[in-house]
Structures are given as structure tokens and as C-alpha cells.
């Protein structure tokens, strides 16, 4: 993993959005589509804001972009304030010219007996468009990427998972109480993520310092999914000073 420490949160947004814009334009010039893997949560908000700015002010077009989100809570209605569908439309998609048919987010309202088939179809769709060119990741306190909680293997694919107690506690404030946080989620697997040709993992704030160190410098460990990124040939970890504090 290449680690880039930046002093300002906004600089991470500028760097990552700049890389995405370059990829989109490069693909566009070859008449190809850019395939992006997207994350939700607080960390990528700045990247999305910067992409929206580039769309408005610099003519960056998303007409040839296909997106796949990492995860969604289960069960979760798409119009709920907690849903990652709603998050993506409010924080990015509504403000750019992406085609709705090119947007893919795991469906949180499927009946349980249809989940496995839908997860397999999600994987198939990613393969069908040629794989993810650029994947954005955050990191949870458990070391999860997507919702690949401790125990998620390097071969794991898109599936229904149980959320870790720490993850549910971290989400409690957003849900006005831990008891309201769903117990399960749909997530791309570790293998799905590692298939991406290029990965940017982002972390900011002192509360991430411990897990950033574990992810970058610790042994590769099934208990910390982010450590598997050490095996990926083109991953960059963007951290601010606070999140980098424990790195040696």
C-alpha cells in the first residue's frame, strides 16, 4: 500500500476527485466507459462535493460512467433517510449527469429468498462491464472495507452479512439509537474489492489512527479486512495528519 499523508481533509478530496476525473476523461477519449466503485459514510463526502464542482464548473461529464456501490443495509427501503441509495442520490447522483440505468447499489428490500441470486447478479454485472476501474473505500473501526467485518475471507464475494457490534454502535447516533441499526447488510466481498484495478482508501480523524496503523503496518489478518489491501498492486491510502498519527 502506498500511503499519502495530507494535512487538510479538503486536499484528500481534491486529490482523489482529480484522479477520478482524469480516469473518466481518459476513458472518454477512447470511447470507453469508466467503471467506478463507490462508498458512503462521512469520509467520501468531500470527494463527491469536488466531483460535483468539477461537473458544474469544468464540464466533467458522467454520461459515460457506470457506478457500483459497495454496500447497503438490510433490510432497508431505498427512500429511507438511512439508506445508501438516498445517500448517493443526495450527495452525488442528483447533481451530476450520470444515467440512472448506469447506477448500481445493492437492493436492501429484496425478500430474503432472493438475496443470494441478487448478490450473484451484482457480481455478474460487474464482470459484464469489464470490472471496476477505480474503487473508493473508507475504513470502519473494525477494519471493515465495505461491510466486510472481522472474519470476512479474502475469497468473499457480494453477500448478506451480519454487522459487527462495534459497527452498529458507531452507527447508533445516525439511527437515533443502536436498537434501530439494522443487524445485517449486503456488501461486496473482499475478493470483489481486490478485483478493482485501482483502489483509494480514505481515512480522516484521530478516531481512525489505530485502525489505519493496523491496516497499513499490521500482519495480513482475516480479522481486519483492510489488511488484505496490502496484497493489492495499486492501492493508495489517503490519510490526514490525525489519522496518520500512529503510523511509524
User: Is residue 43 involved in binding ligand F6R (CB under 6 A)?
Assistant: yes
Sheet strand arrangement including 184-187? 71-74, 184-187, 159-162
Is 159 in contact with 189 (CB distance < 8 Å)?
A: yes
Q: To the nearest whole angstrom, how small is the minimum distance from the Cβ of residue 83 to ligand F6R?
A: 11
Query: Segment near ligand F6R (CB under 6 A), from 16-24, 108-116, 133-141, 231-239?
Result: 133-141
Q: Choose which of 37, 106, 108, 138 interacts with ligand F6R (CB under 6 A).
A: 138
Interface residues for ligand F6R in 142-171 (CB under 6 A)? 144-147
Is 201 in contact with 238 (CB distance < 8 Å)?
A: yes
User: Is residue 189 involved in binding ligand F6R (CB under 6 A)?
Assistant: no
Q: Which residues have a Cβ under 8 Å from the Cβ of 11 and sit 6 or more positions away?
A: none
- Determine the residue with CB nearest ligand F6R: 138
- CA-based angle 72:77:81, to the nearest 5? 85
Query: Segment near ligand F6R (CB under 6 A), from 41-49, 150-158, 217-225, 232-240?
Result: 41-49
Q: What count of other Cβ atoms lies within 10 Å of the Cβ of residue 236?
A: 17
Phi, psi of 30 (to 5 degrees): -100, 5
Q: To the nearest whole angstrom, how small is the minimum distance from the Cβ of residue 38 to ligand F6R?
A: 8
Residue closer to ligand F6R by CB (options 133, 170) is 170
User: Is residue 140 involved in binding ligand F6R (CB under 6 A)?
Assistant: yes
Query: Segment near ligand F6R (CB under 6 A), from 12-20, 33-41, 54-62, 126-134?
Result: 33-41
Q: Which residues have a Cβ under 8 Å from the Cβ of 31 and sit 6 or more positions away?
A: none
Binding-site size for ligand F6R (CB under 6 A) equals 14
User: Is residue 240 involved in binding ligand F6R (CB under 6 A)?
Assistant: no
Q: Among all chains, which residue has been given the C-alpha cell 481518459?
A: 26
Instruction: Give, in order, the Cα–Cα distances in Å from 119 to each of 47, 56, 103, 164.
Output: 27, 34, 15, 20
Interface residues for ligand F6R in 70-99 (CB under 6 A)? 70-71
* Residues at the site binding ligand F6R, with contacts judged by CB under 6 A: 39-43, 70-71, 138-140, 144-147
Amino acid at each position: 500500500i502506498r500511503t499519502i499523508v495530507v494535512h487538510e481533509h479538503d486536499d484528500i478530496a481534491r486529490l482523489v476527485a482529480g484522479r477520478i476525473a482524469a480516469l473518466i476523461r481518459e476513458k472518454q477519449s477512447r470511447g470507453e466507459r469508466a467503471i467506478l466503485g463507490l462508498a458512503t459514510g462521512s469520509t467520501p463526502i468531500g470527494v463527491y462535493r469536488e466531483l460535483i464542482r468539477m461537473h458544474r464548473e469544468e464540464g466533467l461529464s458522467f454520461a459515460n460512467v457506470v457506478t457500483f456501490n459497495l454496500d447497503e443495509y438490510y433490510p432497508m427501503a431505498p427512500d429511507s433517510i438511512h439508506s445508501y441509495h438516498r445517500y448517493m442520490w443526495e450527495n452525488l447522483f442528483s447533481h451530476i449527469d450520470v444515467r440512472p440505468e448506469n447506477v448500481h447499489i445493492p437492493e436492501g428490500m429484496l425478500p430474503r429468498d432472493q438475496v443470494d441470486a441478487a448478490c450473484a447478479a451484482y457480481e455478474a454485472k460487474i464482470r459484464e462491464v469489464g470490472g471496476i476501474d477505480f474503487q473508493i473505500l473508507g475504513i470502519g473501526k473494525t477494519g471493515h472495507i465495505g461491510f466486510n467485518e472481522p472474519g470476512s475471507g479474502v475469497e468473499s464475494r457480494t453477500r448478506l452479512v451480519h454487522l459487527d457490534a462495534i459497527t452498529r454502535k458507531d452507527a447508533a447516533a445516525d439511527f437515533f439509537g443502536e436498537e434501530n441499526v439494522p443487524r445485517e447488510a449486503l456488501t461486496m466481498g473482499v475478493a470483489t474489492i481486490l478485483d478493482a484495478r485501482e483502489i483509494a482508501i480514505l481515512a480522516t480523524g484521530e478516531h481512525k489512527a489505530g485502525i489505519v496503523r493496523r491496516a497499513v503496518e499490521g500482519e495480513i489478518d482475516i480479522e481486519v479486512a483492510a489488511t488484505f489491501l496490502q496484497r493489492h498492486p495499486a492501492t493508495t491510502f489517503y490519510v490526514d495528519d490525525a489519522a496518520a498519527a500512529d503510523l511509524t
